[in-house]
Every structure is written in structure tokens, then in C-alpha cells.
Structure 1
Amino acid sequence: MSAYTRLLLACFGLFSLIGCSEPHQDSNIRSRGFVYCGQDTPTTFNPQLIDGGLTADTLAAQIFDRLLLLDPISHQPLPSLARSWSVSDDGLEYTFNLRKGIEFQTTDWFKPTRQLNAQDVVFSFKRIIEPSHLFNKVSGGRYPWFESQGFSSLVDNIEVVDSHTVKFTLSRPDNAFLSNLATTYAVIHSQEYAQNLLKTGKLQQLDMKPIGTGPFSLAQYLPNDLIRLVRHWGYWQGAAPMEQVVFDISSRGTGTLAKLLSKECDVLSSPVASQLPVISNSEEFELIAQTGMNVAFVALNNSKTELKDPRVRKAINLAINRENLLNSVYYGTGTKAKSILPPMSWAYNHNSKALDYDPEKSLALLKQAGFDKNLRLTMWVPLEPRPYNPSPRKTAELIQADLNAVGVQLTILSQDTLSRLNTTATTNSDMVLTGWIADNGDPDNFLRPLLSCSAKSAGLNVANWCDLGFDNLLELASRTTKLEQRVNYYHLAQDILDTEVPIIPLAHGVHFQVHHQSLGGLQMSPFGTRSFSSVYRSE
């Protein structure tokens, strides 16, 4: 059943969040909106509570705004809800001047009586950093991305200066602070809406029936089926050309490529690499690509006895043939990863001495460690294609064959999607096949959330690795204002990773997106987020 048909059926009251338009009007959805295909079912609509997935990658940019945005080329912060900002000489105080006239969305469950002001910004961040905040423990009370950054210890206070001025006071200088406020996780909620929910006792509604200032508001959510967003007429940058966006999140029936070819979907994000020739040969669709700030990697669980030995970790790294992965999984579209940082990062160490493919040396290291063709490991593998890994199953099978060649028996454990907060997978498995899409252009955004000691406590560091020397280098890099020193600290941090091998970088992927030729204005970003505020249909 197509998304269009399901949308019509949903309009007759099947679990809808709000009422739909007349059926005959929704039958013309393609002239009034578009269908986006190929993502997972969200567990929340608040990106502050998660570490990735559809909400963080795509939905948040439609429903919410942030104080700042990132320039997709220079990776420098740009104004958004904050029209300007200033930083004190000691780097501890950041003052933001908010735009005036920013309207919150009106829905069937909330009608705002005021525009955005400084109280909304303070509410949105104090919820995260203050354990005593009335909303801090709501919806699980975990803020994994912020926890991995040590955000609560970094931010001493957030205060209202006046109705449209907010000041953040930090405990120490942090060069990545502005970039972090521009990430998809740093969204601004309505304090007025939260106060209304306190009166009714429905606090979790803040995260499942969101209110933001973005170009689209949530209208309907059918789990494992569809999500419908409708145009926010009061959007501060002008109402979007499209009246609605439907996300087809169903897993039953035909695959996403078949839905695209049969025109059940207008947009397909992250098509599998093997699908690209079929798409390229059709004149009906446009294929666009963005070199991504991403990395696919294998996390080695350093809490496991066998993997505590660096010789074993190095041996596994040496056994993996990355060139074979690029040819068989990425079809020549990816780049071999020597580091967790992509080559486009200004802190990338081009003189890295990272170990490369050498099965003979791998065998020798395993024998030294006492594993002469008798090592058995497990690897948890999510099956959902991602920009950094277009075919996780195939990747896992190739790694399995590589390890078998050096006498390591690898058992693959799989599921459709994998959250780094899934403690069953990350604690019980020896290895996890995963990856990362940068939220901003700062190298800290790769190194700290994935490998710092605070990230281990937060659950994002699935390698369960903590090195105080590595953490100290990240702290030094965040404090210095001299770029040359920052680069040096990050190079030293990468040297530690090359020596200790807590994770095995595999490849940097190219993010592909395909859409029907009648759609225009679709944007791509190296950070994975994209707004649909400028999308239009030409026919």
C-alpha cells in the first residue's frame, strides 16, 4: 500500500494526532507536497534525547530552529535565531542577541500566545544541565550527545539579560562551543508550551508532540507507517513552498527503490550503492552527492578480556582489507579511512602511521598474544544503510571473511537499527560495526563524542575505551586560541589512536540522495541535516 493511500486512510481517524483535510484534497498530495522514503521509525521528536537517526538527521531541521547554523563550505557558525553574538576576552561568556518576531507553531494541541524570547532559550538548555529542572528527568532523562561533550560541566549558567538577549557562562574556554550550538541537537523549545504541559501533567508530550519555530510542524504520526508534517505559515523566513511532507517509514511491502521507481516516493535518502546505476539510467530522477564528514568504523570492546590486549586489536585492524570494502560495498564512491577524522578535516594527520592491511603481520601478532587460530569473537551489525556505510551486512560479511583468513572466527549478530545507547549490543558484543556523521566541522566533534572518557560514561563510546592522556589533549585543544597549537594537539591525539587502536576506521562515505526531477530546492549538507523550507515542485 502506497504512502498516499495510507495517508488517505489515516485521515479517517486511524491514530492521527490531528484531523486531516478533505479526502479529495489529500488525493492531490504530489502537487501540494512530497513523500520522503527510506528511514527508521523515531522513538522521539526531540533530538536532545538521542544520538542520531531520522529525528536528528532530518526531522529536527523541519520542526525546530537553533541559535546558529553552520556554513556548509567553511563550517563556520552563521546567525539563525540569534542574529548576532559576542564573546568575552577570557572566552567564558557568550552573549546572544535574538531575532524579534519569531513565531512558534500552532497545532491542535497548542496555540502560542507570544513569540520566541530569551526564556525559551534558557528553558531549552537548563533542562539539559540542571538535574533539579522539572523536565530534566522526562522521557528518560538522558541527553547522550550533550553528556558525551561534558556539556553540563562546561556550562556554568544560562541567564536572561533581557527579553531578547541570553548569556552563557562557561567554566572554561571551549573553541568548539559555537559550533556545538549549531548542531542538530541544540534545538529551541517553547517554554510556554512546557508550562502548559506542567498544568496537565503530560510532560512527555513536549518530546512526542513537539512545538518549534521551524518551517514545518508535526501533524500526524503513525508508528512504523508514516509521519506527516505541515507548513508553518508563520515561519520567520517565509512560509515553505510545499504544504506538507510525508515520511514513509513503513518496512512492509516493496523496498525503497521500488517505491521510488513506482512514484510512491519522491525522495530517497542514502540509496544503497548497488542501486546507483539503476537510478542514474533513469531520466525521471536526479542523483546528487555530498562528500560527507563521516566515518564507518568497527568499535572494539576494550572491556572484553581478549580485546584488552593491544596486539589483538592491532591484529584485527591489520586483517581487514579496506580496498576490498571500497570496491565491493562502496562501488568506488568511498575513501579508505586511516583515521577517524575525514581527510577534509583541517586537523587530519596526513602523516599518520596508522596500520594498514597486512594479514601476515596480523597472524604473527595473534600468535604472540596467545591466539593461534583459536580466537572467537562476536560483532553487532545494524542493517540499515547509512551515508557512511551503504551496506552494513555486506561489510560485516567481508570483515568476517578477512578475520577467518587469519584464524579468527567471527559471529555476526544483527538487527535493523542500532542505537549506541543499546547496552545489550554495546556491552555484550566484542565488536560493533557502526559509524558517525559529524554534527559540525570541528574535529572535537569526532574525537570527544566517540572516544572520550565522558562519552564512555554517556554510552556513546561503544569501544568502552578511556585514556586520560587522550582526554587531556582534547582539553588542551579546546582551550588554546592558536590554530597551529590546536592542530598539533589533535595530531598527538590521533597518534594515540594509531598506537592503541580502540576502534578500526574503515571508510569515509559519500552521501547520495535521489529525487524526482520535478522537485527543486533540495539541499545537502556535509553534516547530514537538511531543511525542506526551500523545496518546490516545478510540475
Structure 2
Amino acid sequence: MSAYTRLLLACVGLASLIGCSEPKQDSNIRSQGFVYCGQDTPTTFNPQLIDGGLTADTLAAQIFDRLLLLDPVSHQPLPSLAKSWTVSDDGLIYRFTLREGVEFQSTDWFKPTRQFNAQDVVFSFKRVIDLRHPFHNVSGGRYPWFESQGFSNLIENVEMVDMHTVEFSLTRPDNAFLSNLATTYAVIHSQEYANNVLRAGKPNQLDMQPIGTGPFSFDKYSPNDHIRLNNHPDYWQGKAPMEQVVFDIATRGTGTLAKLLSQECDVLSSPVASQLPVISADEDFELIAQTGMNVAFLAIDNEQPELKDARVRKAINHAINRENLLNSVYYGTGTQAKSILPPMSWAYNHDSQALDYDPAQALSLLKQAGYDKNLNLTLWVPLEPRPYNPSPRKTAELIQADLNAVGVQVDIVTQDTVSRLSTISKSNSDLVLTGWIADNGDPDNFLRPLLSCDAKMAGLNVANWCDLNFDNLLELASRTTKLHQRLNYYHLAQDILDQEVPIIPLAHGVHFQVHHQSLNGLKMSPFGTRSFSTVYRGED
């Protein structure tokens, strides 16, 4: 059955859904590959330039490789483009031996003349950390994930030892450095391609028509419609079974569930929790779940006059009924959050003194602070479901009702997505409903990019909170080689968060993914990103 015919049937069978239109997808997509459903329209295809979304979560793993990968179980770094590495005794020098025989993708607009080597690694990281690099200011010159990690201050130099050896020199020891090199943001670009587009006067092409060494190459991008990736025949780990992958990002016509049920899409990531019973009852689809390293939280703008008072922040925390959120939004699939770290983190503080639901105490604290039924706040809410929050609008409405019950009036402002780089008016962003999916298994990956002073200076700390004692504990934890000391420092850092309440952890979500039963080899990761290099289609 053609894609067009299936869509017509979907429009007839799902009469409540309106606005169906003719898809622009080729009729043979399903015979050559598969369609991935999502509604995130990328602004770039270079994950270095963003801090989340479809590019970072899914596209990057198809187009690019990194020096290292992370074991999904142990969370320890594994070889990838770097086949081995050594670390100096003082923890300041990391030397990587690179894999040989790795081919870059060949496209209509670029034909590589050489294989991957150390020049590409130096280029990829120098662009981020060197203000004088010719590509540093291209495409806006912001590198949010790296900025929030303080990478420019951490890495003193990146240099090529020989064509297959590269060395990183650090300004201080950092226990999370290897894990950070395995994140979806630490991708490797082609220096040869960069030089070509720079000579042509089109440096932005590096980010909008990317070239990597991954299993699929970029082919076409039609904004608000679709993204097409083609198989990379010379992929160093072996050619992927699928000839192409199409990302359906159309916002017109039917919703993602309707597209899935009518087989317009083969894969749907992060279905809304209320859709799970419908999906589970359909034998054509397989629903899989992954316990995620994630957290949904309410960021409080600590620079707003009313919210500088810790009593007000604690009152807001006491007012929110997390159990109600779990029942009404997560349908029992999530877990209540007491910390920004998920319980599966080795640094999670099981003796946390986090505040519990207590509306009476919330009323008392508000009265003490002088805000007895006269506090009005604005809550910014993204509409896009995420693994840590399957229904943001509903979450916001429940929080609104909880706060109204203790005399706090909340105005909800929605937008498609709210990222740390969103333009949010400082006079109108009291609360932001957001969350985080870990890029690796190190606790530093939650604490530093979200709440450090570096992240605030970079404009990426949504809570606008900076505590030097908290930062000092993170610094001590990154330097020590003794695990029990690291654990103690992270517990102390969490104690500060419990006392100061710069953010309010809400829940840890389960990441669901559904796919047509004919697809095999789809993997999930606790870090949200996964490669499609092993996906193949069996019998329908």
C-alpha cells in the first residue's frame, strides 16, 4: 500500500484529526529504509551549537562519530574513533591513538580526498575553545553544552602528535573528561570539508550540510516537513542495512500517533503516556522502555526580587504534589524526584533532606516572607513531550492548581520548546518547566551544566543561581582520585540544593519508544542518543 493511500485511510479512519495533506515522502521509503516520527525542526545539524533537541538526541549519532562511546550499562568510556588512550600521572595530559582507515562521507557537494586523522580532532575542538579560530564565530559562536561545562577554561591545548595521535592538555584534573568526550556534543568534523567551505565563502555550510564519519550521511532538509539521511557505504564499522532514514518533522496534518497507526511512520520516540494503552493493544507495534538518566524540574529565577527569598522557593516546593503528577501525567511510569540526580546515579543521596509535599507549611512560609495571597508568577512551558516529561502542558496546569491552592497566582506561557538558549524576558520568567537528559553517567553532568556559576555566566543556568560553595564542591569532586571522597563532595553539594532550593526536582521519567514490529535492531540508551547502524527490516 502506498504512503499516499495509507494517509488517506488515516484521514478517513481518524475523523477527529483534521488538516490531512499529501505527504512529500517517496512511496518506496519503507522498502529501502524507515520513517522516524518527530516534530522538532532543527536550526542546525551541528550538535556543538545546541544543548538538546532532535539534532543532539538522534541525528548526531547517525551523521557523526566521537572519539569515545559510553557503555550503556557500566557508563564507562569505550573506544570509537579513538582506539586507545593514556592519561598522565598528574591527570593533565590525555593522549589518544586514533583508528586508521576511517572514511568520511561522500556527498553531492563534497568528495573527501583523505581519511580521518588527527587534524580533524584538533579542528573540531579548537573551533569550540579558541576564540581566534576562523570557525569559532560561525553560526552564532555559541557552544552551550561546552560553555556550561567550562571547557574553554579546562582545555589548555589540543595538538596533533602525528597523523594518528592527538593530545589534550588540561589546566586541572577532571574525572569526567573522558565521559564528556563520549557525549553527543563532542562530534568530529572534517577539517578538509571546513577548509573547502571557508574558501568558498560559505562557512555556515559546515553546520547546515554536515559531513561526518557516521553510518548515515545528510542528504536533504525540507523545513517543517522532513530530513533525509542516506546510507554511508564506506562506514568503518560496516555498511548499515538500511539504505535511508527519513525524519518526518511535519507539523501540518495528522499527529504523530495517527501517523504511526496508519504506518506513515515506523518509529515514534517518547509517545505521550496516555497513548501507551492504545499502542500496546496494537499487535503491529512493539513498545520498549529504558530507565532514563533524566529529571524534570521547575527552574526558579533566583534573580527575581520575590524569589530571592529562600522561604518563597521552599514554599513553592512544599506546594507541589508530585504524587499527583506521577498519577496524572506519567500514569505510574515515572518516579518521584527528590534530587536532580536520578536514583540510578552512583552519587545519589539516599539520605536527602529534600522538602516534601506540605501545603500548610507552604502557606506558613509565604506568610513569613510577606507574600500572603499576593504573589503572582509567570510559568514558561514547552509543549514538546520529552522522556522526562510526557505532557508538559498538563504538568504545568497541575502545578498552577497546586500553587493557587496556597495563594500563589500563576500565569502559564507556552511555546513549542524552551531550551537554555531560549529568549526569555528576564522580567517575565519567574518559573520555567524544563528538564535534563544526561549525556553521560557522571553526576557532574547533571550538576555543572545546570547549576554552576560557569553555566550562569554563559547564560545557560535557567535558575540564574550561583553558589561558590556548591561550585567548590564540584571542583573538589572533579580533582580527587578517591571515589569515596567524590561521593562525599557530591552528597554535600546535594545538601546545598536541598537547603537553597534553586530548582524543584519533579520526576524521573521512563523513556518509551515504539516501532513497527517489522523493524529489528533498534537500541535505546539511558543517555537519549542511539545509532541506527544496526537497524534492519524483517518480515511484515
TM-score normalised by the chain length of structure 2: 0.95
Q: Give, in angstroms, the shift of residue 419 of structure 1.
A: 1.8
Q: Pick which of 32-41 and 184-193 moved more.
A: 32-41
Matching of residues 458-477 of structure 1 within 5 Å:
458-477=458-477
**Partner letter of residue 223 of structure 2?**
P
Aligned equivalent of 1:130: 130
Give the % identical residues.
83
Helix, strand or coil for the counterpart of 1:95? Answer: strand
Alignment of 1:423-502 (within 5 A): 423-424=423-424, 428-502=428-502
The 8 Å contact of residues 426 and 432 in structure 1, kept in 2 or not, is answered as: no
- The CA deviation at 1:373 is 0.9
Match of 2:143 in 1: 143
Letter of the 2:283 partner, please give it: E
Structure 2 residue aligned with 1:237: 237
SS in 2 for 1:160: strand
Q: Does structure 2 conserve the Cα–Cα contact (< 8 Å) formed by 1:4 and 1:29?
A: no
Which residue of structure 1 lines up, in the alignment, with residue 365 of structure 2?
A: 365
- Listed one character per residue, the Cα deviations across residues 178-207 of structure 1 (whole Å, up to 9, x for unaligned) are 000000000000000011111111000000
Contact map agreement 2:3 2:27 (CA 8 A) in 1? no
Q: Which range moves more in the overlay, 339-348 or 458-467?
A: 458-467
Change (3 A) 1:427 1:63: farther
Give a deviation string over 1:70-91, Cα, whole Å, max 9, x none.
Answer: 0000000000000000000000
For 1:35-55, what per-residue CA distance to the aligned partner results, in whole angstroms no more than 9, with x for missing partners? 000230000000000000000
- 1:352 aligned counterpart, secondary structure: coil
Q: Which amino acid aligns with 1:86?
A: T
- Residue of structure 2 in register with 1:120 after alignment: 120
Q: CA deviation at 1:4?
A: 6.9
The one-letter amino acid of 1:478's match is: S
The verdict on how the C-alpha distance between 1:4 and 1:175 changes in structure 2, with shifts beyond 3 A counting, is farther
1:328 is aligned to 328
Cα distance in 2 for residues equivalent to 1:293 and 1:240: 28
Q: CA deviation at 1:423?
A: 3.0
- Provide the rounded CA distance (Å) in 2 between the counterparts of 1:494 and 1:423: 29
The 1:426–1:446 alpha-carbon spacing in structure 2 relative to 1, beyond 3 Å, is: farther
Local SS of the residue matching 2:253: coil
Give, in whole Å, the separation in 2 of the partners of 1:426 and 1:269.
Answer: 33
1:256–1:268: 8 Å Cα contact kept in structure 2? Answer: yes
Residues in 2 aligned to 1:54 and 1:485: alpha-carbon distance in whole angstroms:
37
CA spacing shift, 1:518–1:484, aligned 2, 3 Å: same
Distance 2:353 2:430 in 1: 25
Alignment gaps of 5+ in structure 2: 7-24
Say whether the 8 Å CA contact 1:380–1:425 is kept in structure 2.
Answer: no
Looking at structure 1, the residues matched to 194 and 228 of structure 2 have their Cα atoms a distance apart, in angstroms, of: 23
Distance 1:446 1:85 in 2: 25
What corresponds to 2:509 in structure 1?
509
Per-residue CA distance 1:349-379 (angstroms, 9 max, x = gap): 0000000100000000000000111110000
1:310-325 to structure 2, matched below 5 A, reads 310-325=310-325
The amino acid across from 1:521 in the alignment is G
What is the CA–CA distance in structure 1 between the aligned matches of 2:250 and 2:513, rounded to whole Å? Answer: 19
The 3 A distance-change label for structure 1 pair 427 and 183 is farther
Cross-structure match for 1:213: 213
Kindly provide the amino acid, as one letter, of the partner of residue 235 in structure 1. Answer: Y
**One-letter amino acid of the counterpart of residue 249, structure 1:** I
Matched, 1:405 2:402: no
Indicate yes or no: 2:75 matched with 1:69: no
Confirm or deny: 8 A CA contact 1:420 1:426 kept in the other structure. Answer: no
The reply to whether residue 86 of structure 1 matches residue 86 of structure 2 is: yes
| In structure 2, C-alpha distance between the alignment counterparts of 1:498 and 1:458, rounded to whole Å | 24
* Separation in 1, partners of 2:377, 2:198: 49
Task: Write the distance in 1 (CA, Å) between the matches of 2:510 and 2:51.
Answer: 21
Read off the aligned partner of 2:86 and give its amino acid letter. Answer: S
Q: TM-score by structure 1 length?
A: 0.95
Q: Name the counterpart of 2:249.
A: 249
Q: For residues 457 and 226 of structure 2, what CA distance do their matches in structure 1 show?
A: 34
Gaps of 5+ in 1: 7-24
How many residue pairs end up in the alignment?
521
Over 3 Å counting, the alpha-carbon distance change for 1:4 and 1:182 in structure 2 is farther
